[in-house]
Amino acid sequence: MNRSNTAKGTAKNIVKLSARIAEASPLRYTPAGIPAINFVLEHESEMQEAGVTRQVKLTVRAVAFGALAETSAKAELGKFQLFTGFLINARTSKSLIFHIQDIQDIQPI
């Protein structure tokens, strides 16, 4: 691993995932008063890996904050969308949480 490529400010943590909202919690507010909503996203696709087609199915825990949380609280479950954001470790476990920064409607492929 080249340390110069991972120096603070140069490493990138950008995730784009086409998925459907499988579950959504009620809109809540952080202790600082920021709107927040938790989601479970479901993704299904076929990917090429080592020359072989692979079926991919996954679920991802996700969260949105601020105005995005307020607008996405009205989102339709099961609708195919493109989610953009970044990954962090959950504070209470070693699992990952997808922090959503943008949601776009797209057509399924």
In this structure, are residues 47 and 54 in contact, taking their beta carbons and an 8 Å threshold? yes
Q: State the average pLDDT over residues 43-50.
A: 94
Indicate if the pLDDT at residue 67 is higher than 90: yes
The segment with the largest mean pLDDT, out of 3-12, 25-34, 99-108, is: 25-34
DSSP code, position 93: S
Which pLDDT does position 107 carry in this prediction?
80
Task: Kindly state whether residue 10 falls inside one of the protein's structural domains.
Answer: no
Indicate if the pLDDT at residue 21 is higher than 70: yes
* CATH number, domain containing residue 30: 2.40.50.140
For the chain, how many structural domains are there in total?
A: 1
Domain extent for 91: 15-105
- To the nearest whole number, what is the mean pLDDT of the chain? 90
Nearest-CA neighbor of 62 among 32, 20, 107?
A: 20
Task: Kindly state whether residue 50 falls inside one of the protein's structural domains.
Answer: yes
Which pLDDT does position 75 carry in this prediction?
86
Task: Kindly state whether residue 7 falls inside one of the protein's structural domains.
Answer: no
Task: Kindly state whether residue 5 falls inside one of the protein's structural domains.
Answer: no
Does the pTM surpass 0.95? The reply is: no
DSSP code, position 76: P
Spatial distance between the Cα atoms of 68 and 34, rounded to a whole number of angstroms = 11
Task: Kindly state whether residue 54 falls inside one of the protein's structural domains.
Answer: yes
